[in-house]
Structure 1
Amino acid sequence: MTRKDMETLLLTDPFNLQLRLDLANLYVAEKLYREASAQYSIILSQNKAHTEALEGMRNCQAQLETERGSAGLEAPLNPEEGHVPGRLALVQGHEENGNRSNVVSLHQVAKKESVKFSDIVGMQALKDTLRLKVIEPFKNPGLFAKFSKKRGDGILLYGPPGCGKTMFAKAIAHECDLEFISVDISDILSMYIGGSENNLARVFERARSSKPCVLFFDELDALAISRSKVQSHHSRTLVNELLNQMDGVGKSNEDILILGATNMPWDIDAAAKRPGRFSRLIFVPPLDQAARRELFRLKLHVIPTEKDINLDHLAQSSEGFSGADIDGLIEAAKERALLDMIRKNSERAITMSDLLAAMDEVTPSCHDWMRTAENLVKFGGVGSGYKDLARYLRA
């Protein structure tokens, strides 16, 4: 069997440890030590006592250290940590310009995020909540271990679109000093029967080989839609696979912080929101007035503006505007100013009138979402899990 055949076969049977071991040994024979290390690492993530994989990893470690030492580079990570830098793929060596429909690889998507809480304007109450419920268990594991409180869990960030849910997920990873693995729906969905489920399983295996880490699913409602609302068998089995992976049957998700973000939490399957899965729902509200003022200040500071800009008035007049809405408002003001410059053939800065005129053109996206949320919380029977949202609506 050729290397290409083994790589392709591994796609259909990604948990075949003997096949993966044979592929790793073949990489060693071809002196592809980094690729071999990646395969040995995946084997050890599933069976830490696998003697052949341990021996193979040590051999690759020695070869890589020799190569790096001769090149004056730093040594690779300890193989016992179960993590190899660079690309970590379930299938290696595929043709980059060839037919990718049959050979798919999971690339290195984990990285240390640079977004900090201090980069997010306002939202202090939400930051305090996230520090207590999410960040401190990772930064002070000893304290939480005394109460048999495990690190890692599922947390669902929900709220209107454009209010920073993805930004908060990245900031959480930075504050916890964890690798951040972001998963898009396009990484999961496949046109082939069973392909989506296999892709989802590979994502979780990737996270388990990188512990501790943050595993982030954006637009979770598209992946975990309520099974009572769909008729497609494919959608149901994909939700079942997600629930199975989150339960960690035969595996351990400890030290994996699973974050989800959605604008439609009521469309997510109820089983995904029970304790042990996405057990904590945290509401990410629209920006308050102080946060909107600061965002206007930061955005307008880097472009030419007149001295008549009244930040307080802009903040008061933009109730219900998300951060994305404010970006859109400023872009509309820029377009008005540029069009005027083209017509008059003279340059000028953005004025307060440009911003106010743009504000009339931009519809705040939070208003429709809040009206829908209010109706669902009051009359829609979505359950009692939206206490943060209910308190916000009362206020």
Structure 2
Amino acid sequence: MTLSPESLDILEQRVEDLTEDARNHAGDEPKKAAALFSKAADVHERLAEAKDSPVVVQAHENKAESLRSNAQSQLRDAGLNPSNSMRDESRPETDVQSEVESTFDEVETDDTQAAIEAAEFFENPPSTELEDVGGLDAEIGRIHDGIIKPHLYPEVFNAIGVDMSNGVLLYGPPGTGKSLIARAAANELGYPYAGVSAAELGSEYVNKGAQNVQRLFAEAKQIQPCVVFVDELDSLARSRSGGPEQTDGTRQMITQLLQELDAIQGSEICVIGATNLVEDIDGAIRRSGRFDRKIHIGAPDADDRRDIFQIHLEDKRVSGDLDWNEIIEWTEGFSGADIASVVRQAGQAAASESIDEGVVSPSDVPGITHEHLMEQIKEKEPGVKEWEEEQNHSLS
């Protein structure tokens, strides 16, 4: 197993923190101490696998053995693993092991939840599911291949000899579901989630933006496994080679981001970047090793648009039949955000119309009709088309 120097530093700090925490709980909370000693031993074994020097490898293995001995001692104090002369024969060893594993899971959960609650950027795993995205079957398949599978089954990738990708870049027109996909991926993994934009990380003060990036990833290293979503990556990480609009603070922020992306290689931190303008992102950030996979999220096709409409109409009251052929024909070039807006505005129009007609009893209020939808569709400029025209104009 090959880890970057930064990743090794993270593990070295992690094992120190775990060991100190275990010692603090020893005696008073032996079950928790045992779980922490065991986790620290696991990290020492991981470090042993990553080291080349036989002396250093042996040192980590010795520390792992010592920590496991400490864990056993704490278990005996807790009555979970008594000596043979004191063993409770009525309690199978498998029950003891099950309780130890359960205790370890509780420690991990408690520590992670406490870190999330104290974090500035992170929240619990989102409730958004991939089914909520609507359409984009091919793109979602790539999300499974590039994000979900490597993080759920790292042992399979390790067995083949390929590294797990820590960075995935989603690119394409605005409103096509990139942020929704990132939240859904975190949900699928069950990982804590941090969603930030360039505007949130940036600052008018020199060094502040870089400090924000550093603080974000410091939280990620503590909370991992986790998902970090950085929206508007093109704004945060424009090429350092030019542009009169770029400040010293921006350049420092990009440099800090590069350092953080290198430092998480081999960790359980998944970074998902999103951009409308992939060509504007600094080449050093786009290169393999930082964002190994680049997935295009384009405008939904006809079938996708119908799926998205049905998702947004699912919890709405609809009156009469919908002419899907007409709806699909008129919504070419619409993004998922456009469709969500159409449904919302059609619902508002239906409610306003019901009030004007004096129908205000909830049981009597009619729903959204095909006409309501078409009226909003015909008034709306397709977001993808508008964005493409703006890009063409800026290049001319």
TM-score (norm 2): 0.68
Q: What is the identity, as a one-letter code, of the residue corresponding to 2:191?
A: L
Question: Structure 1 stretches (4+) deviating beyond 6 angstroms?
Answer: 64-67, 373-376
1:50 to 16, 20, 27: 16
SS in 1 for 2:256: helix
1:219-234 matched pairs, under 5 angstroms: 219-227=232-240, 228-229=242-243, 230-234=245-249
- Does 1:281 pair with 2:299? no
2:228 to 202, 209, 215: 215
The alignment of Structure 1 onto Structure 2 pairs a total of residues equal to: 313
The 2-side partners of 1:235 and 1:247 are apart by 19
Residues 343 and 61 (structure 1), Cα distance of their counterparts in 2 relative to 1, 3 Å cut:
farther
1:155-304 matched pairs, under 5 angstroms: 155-185=168-198, 187-227=200-240, 228-229=242-243, 230-248=245-263, 252-304=265-317
Partner of 2:46: none
Residues 63 and 196 (structure 1), Cα distance of their counterparts in 2 relative to 1, 3 Å cut:
farther
Deviations, residues 179-198 of structure 1 (Å, cap 9, x unaligned): 32323445523454322212
Asked whether the 8 Å contact 1:45–1:209 carries over to 2, the reply is no
The 2-side partners of 1:61 and 1:113 are apart by 35
Partner of 1:353: 371
Q: CA deviation at 1:78?
A: 7.2
Asked whether the 8 Å contact 1:200–1:242 carries over to 2, the reply is yes
CA RMSD of aligned residues (A): 3.4
Q: What is the identity, as a one-letter code, of the residue corresponding to 1:244?
A: Q
Partner of 2:5: none
- Does 1:364 pair with 2:382? yes
Deviations, residues 130-177 of structure 1 (Å, cap 9, x unaligned): 222332222332332134311232111011111111111122223334
Partner of 2:113: 86
Which of structures 1 and 2 has the larger relative contact order (alpha carbons within 8 angstroms, sep 6+)? 2
Deviations, residues 64-88 of structure 1 (Å, cap 9, x unaligned): 7899x9xxxx968677x69823343
Report percent identity of matched pairs. Answer: 28
Q: Which deviates the most, 105-114 or 319-328?
A: 105-114
Asked whether the 8 Å contact 1:158–1:281 carries over to 2, the reply is yes
The 1-side partners of 2:128 and 2:356 are apart by 40
Q: Which deviates the most, 116-125 or 174-183?
A: 174-183
The 2-side partners of 1:61 and 1:363 are apart by 65
Q: Counting helix residues as a fraction of each chain, which structure ranks higher? A: 2
Residues 331 and 285 (structure 1), Cα distance of their counterparts in 2 relative to 1, 3 Å cut:
same
Asked whether the 8 Å contact 2:176–2:297 carries over to 1, the reply is yes
Q: What is the identity, as a one-letter code, of the residue corresponding to 1:322?
A: S
Partner of 2:127: 114
The 2-side partners of 1:361 and 1:265 are apart by 30
Q: Which deviates the most, 174-183 or 116-125?
A: 174-183
Deviations, residues 83-107 of structure 1 (Å, cap 9, x unaligned): 8233438xx9xxxxxxxxxxxx743
Q: What is the identity, as a one-letter code, of the residue corresponding to 1:295?
A: I
Deviations, residues 331-372 of structure 1 (Å, cap 9, x unaligned): 222333334334333454332222211111111101123456
The unaligned stretches of length 5 or more in structure 1 are: 1-42, 93-104, 381-395
Partner of 1:6: none
The unaligned stretches of length 5 or more in structure 2 are: 1-8, 33-77, 79-101, 360-364
Residues 270 and 348 (structure 1), Cα distance of their counterparts in 2 relative to 1, 3 Å cut:
same
Asked whether the 8 Å contact 1:76–1:84 carries over to 2, the reply is no
Q: What is the identity, as a one-letter code, of the residue corresponding to 1:368?
A: E
Residues 65 and 117 (structure 1), Cα distance of their counterparts in 2 relative to 1, 3 Å cut:
farther
Partner of 1:142: 155
Asked whether the 8 Å contact 1:88–1:107 carries over to 2, the reply is no
Asked whether the 8 Å contact 1:152–1:254 carries over to 2, the reply is no
Q: CA deviation at 1:374?
A: 7.5
2:356 to 322, 343, 365: 343
Residues 369 and 64 (structure 1), Cα distance of their counterparts in 2 relative to 1, 3 Å cut:
farther
1:59 to 24, 30, 35: 24
Deviations, residues 215-252 of structure 1 (Å, cap 9, x unaligned): 2112212221222223311111111111111122xx65
The 1-side partners of 2:222 and 2:332 are apart by 45
Q: CA deviation at 1:283?
A: 0.4
Q: CA deviation at 1:319?
A: 0.9
TM-score (norm 1): 0.68
